[in-house]
Amino acid sequence: MNKWLRLSALRLTALALMALMGVLSGCATPNAIVEIKGETLYRERIALPAEAKVVVQLLDVSKMDVPAIVMAERVQQGAATPTPFSFAIGSDQFQPGHTYAIGARIMLGDKLLFINTQAYHIDLNSTEPMTILLEKVGG
């Protein structure tokens, strides 16, 4: 009977460990979605032409002295302030140790009207919406 109790205890321990591993592995699912959301805005009190468009990009800015890698892009016709944006990207698209940022601009045809002049780095663990301030280009 002593032998049977030891086997039962071993089986229970093994089952508990397997259940714990299942729970822990569920926390790091490779298919998890990272949602990055926010809005772009500019301070000037002007209406832009209907043809103006807001371009928001999710960028990998990890490497110095090379252009950022565009991971995703949203283009919205009819630039207004504020303009909401969101990206839903699989967590497996982000590499450990890399730095990610949002870049945004307002274009009228090929002419740049507004752009962000400061870095807006992304915290992949945050669910807070971002506010991207765009500055007018030129005078």
Task: Report mean pLDDT in 10-residue bins for the chain, 139 residues.
Answer: 51 49 48 93 93 97 94 93 95 95 97 96 94 91
Q: Do 59 and 69 form a contact (C-beta atoms < 8 A)? A: yes
Domains assigned to the chain: 33-136 (2.60.40.2990)
* Alpha-helix runs per DSSP H in 1-139: 2-27
Q: What is the pLDDT of residue 134?
A: 97
Q: What is the pLDDT of residue 2?
A: 56
Residue 100's identity, in one-letter code, is Y
Q: What is the pLDDT of residue 3?
A: 55
Residue 91 is classified by DSSP as G
Q: Do 100 and 124 form a contact (C-beta atoms < 8 A)? A: yes
pTM of the model: 0.76
Distance of alpha carbon 48 from its chain centroid, rounded?
27
Q: What is the pLDDT of residue 116?
A: 97
Residue 4: in which H helix or E strand, if any?
A: helix 2-27
Q: What is the pLDDT of residue 1?
A: 52
